[in-house]
Structure 1
């Protein structure tokens, strides 16, 4: 298993669209210019903060070394943590695994 794994939470519906399009674009890409990701250790906190009560969720395990778009690790002062942000679409072949949440 590759060592440089990052995670992105999405819905089954959004992932189905990505598979049809051949590329994944989160709404945040248009709104903020990047796709929010996190480390494995950060997944539980992300789920509580942003997806509490939501259904049909998936966790994408992404090989960061296979992402074609730039990745920047940026500090969130409100959480005192650094998160990976993908500045472009996620190429499908970089997604190693999909887990239902």
Structure 2
């Protein structure tokens, strides 16, 4: 798995709705002070834990090298894992790809990343 990439889960609608002058500013940035992200190893579990009510999700693929010092790895109370949190708007130029993923018939997401990628 490439460690120079992070992922953020959103929807096509939210991606369009929360862009402001080339910056993505979702509600969590205002409500919690940061944008939730996941590593490649965490993304499938994150999708299945938090987005099980969705038919489709949009993965934003983020180049870590563009984020500077405003990315912090913090422990999640529920899982005990450290997750990356971005404490500023996400510059659209940092998003190197967008991947739409549909839920499987059983409602789960099969992201398909592994530690060998």
Question: TM-score per shorter chain, which class?
Answer: 0.7 to 0.9
Residue 51 of structure 1 pairs with residue 51 of structure 2: yes
Quote the residue 2:63 is aligned against.
63
Distance 1:60 1:40 in 2: 12
Distance 1:55 1:25 in 2: 23
Alpha carbon RMSD of aligned pairs, Å?
A: 1.9
The structure where helix makes up a greater share of residues is 1
The size of the alignment, in residue pairs, is 100
Quote the residue 1:92 is aligned against.
92
Inter-CA distance 40–3: structure 2 relative to 1 (3 Å threshold): closer
Task: Could you tell me which runs of 5 or more consecutive residues in structure 2 were left unpaired when the two chains were aligned.
Answer: 102-117
**Secondary structure of 2:52 counterpart:** coil
Q: Deviation at 1:88?
A: 0.9
**Secondary structure of 1:40 counterpart:** coil
TM-score, with structure 2 as normaliser: 0.76
Distance 2:54 2:82 in 1: 24
